[in-house]
Amino acid sequence: AKISGKNALRFFDPRMQLAVQERLRLEEEIRLGLKNGEFILNFQPQLEQTEGIIGAEALVRWQHPLRGLLTPAAFIAQAEHAGLIHTLDQQVLAQACAQLARWAETPEFAHLSLSVNLSAHLLYQDNFVEGVLELLERSGADPARLKLELTETLLLDNMPEAIARMTRLKQHGIRFAIDDFGTGYSSMSYLQQLPLDQLKIDQTFIRRLPDDSSSLTIVRAICALATGLGLEVIAEGVESEPQRGMLLANGCHRYQGYLFGRPLSADAFEELVRSTEAD
Ligand code: C2E
Ligand code: CA
Ligand code: CA
Ligand code: CA
């Protein structure tokens, strides 16, 4: 039994059998959900200290016919596993572009930009650049209002290719942020090589503010790094006024987090923009 190893044991474990069936069912549901347009976007406001709401991060949600509104934790890993994540991300990008195009037609929303998450390896797919440009063109959205959030590990996977693709998109005005900055292990030299616009400080550091001095040191260093390199810096997971104050004192004046708003439906987000501008 020892030699036949984990696989054999796993195969005969009835609980595992069930898990496999459940996974296959979820996979089938995701496939169907993609076909039926059940994946929608929520919008979490991003603010600038003096300008107010400057845009949003688009966060995917699954409007499941039976289980209600599901967050990515319930389906992203399985979508990846099933090879469906590219289709999902494509739908997300298409919806993001459509939203930007709609906002551009309304004066009170025309200044908004939208950040979109790209999962691992979509960047490296054949025709990725052409695909994004086509979505933008078809929707009529302004490429300069679209920001793509990438992770360090993804970028370091194939730096030369990442640089080439990002550079081509950048020529059209698309912007790039490093998501969860500070959590991926890497040398910093890549920051000089990639055509970046923004560092997004990971929420694990923000969560420990204002009391934890080592988190403050890291946040301070990231802000100085961004400023020195001419990059924007934004903090995510900002939940309290003391956290915001501490960030501002250290040169970070862009924020995203529950303090300013949860991820909202498009309607609710637009309502929030309207109400804050009326102030
Ligand atoms: P992320 O890109 O780091 O997104 C930020 C997550 O933090 C979101 O969770 C957001 O709801 C949550 N958050 C925002 N502000 C606060 C706060 O103040 N406090 C706390 N505790 N949490 C906050 P969400 O929506 O569940 O998304 C989880 C992850 O799923 C995202 O992490 C991102 O990696 C992934 N994801 C979301 N949308 C997409 C998508 O369209 N495509 C892909 N590939 N991944 C996505
Ligand atoms: Ca993100
Ligand atoms: Ca993040
Ligand atoms: Ca994250």
Question: Can you tell me the mean pLDDT for 192-208?
Answer: 95
Residue 278 has pLDDT above 70, yes or no: no
Calpha distance 143→123 (Å, rounded): 17
Please list, in sequence order, all residues whose beta carbon lies within 8 angstroms of the beta carbon of residue 233, skipping any fewer than 6 positions away.
198, 199, 200, 201, 222, 223, 226, 227, 251, 252, 254
Is-contact 153 119, C-beta < 8 A? Answer: no
> Does 121 contact ligand 1 (Cβ within 6 A)?
no
Residue type, 271: E
Return the pLDDT at 8.
53
What are 105-139's pLDDT values in tens digits? 999 999 999 999 998 688 999 999 999 999 999 99
Calpha distance 182→191 (Å, rounded): 12
Q: Identify which of 59, 84, 148, 178 to mutate to test ligand 1's pocket (most ligand atoms within 8 A of the CB).
A: 59
What are 158-175's pLDDT values in tens digits? 999 999 999 999 999 999
Structure tokens at 13: 């474990």
Q: Indicate the pTM of the whole model.
A: 0.93
Residue 20 has pLDDT above 90, yes or no: no
Question: Can you tell me the mean pLDDT for 185-202?
Answer: 89
Return the pLDDT at 2.
45
Tell me the angle at which helices 14-35 and 5-12 cross, rounded to the nearest 10 degrees: 80
Q: Which residues of 224-242 are buried (b: 16+ CB within 10 A; e: fewer)?
A: ebbeeeebbbbbbbbeeee
Question: Can you tell me the mean pLDDT for 215-226?
Answer: 95
> Does 99 contact ligand 1 (Cβ within 6 A)?
no
Q: How many residues in total does the chain contain?
A: 279
Return the pLDDT at 234.
98
Q: Is the peptide bond before 210 cis (omega within 30 degrees of 0)?
A: yes
Percent of the chain scoring above 70 in pLDDT: 92
Calpha distance 215→208 (Å, rounded): 6
Q: Report which secondary-structure segment, H or E, holds 129.
A: helix 128-139
Structure tokens at 253: 């004046």
Q: Identify which of 80, 99, 117 to mutate to test ligand 1's pocket (most ligand atoms within 8 A of the CB).
A: 117
> Does 27 contact ligand 1 (Cβ within 6 A)?
no
Is-contact 73 14, C-beta < 8 A? Answer: no
Mean pLDDT of the chain: 92
- Residue from 145, 222, 129, 210 nearest 178 by CA: 222
DSSP at 67: T
ipTM summary value? 0.97
- Residue with the smallest CA separation from ligand 1 atom 46 is 117
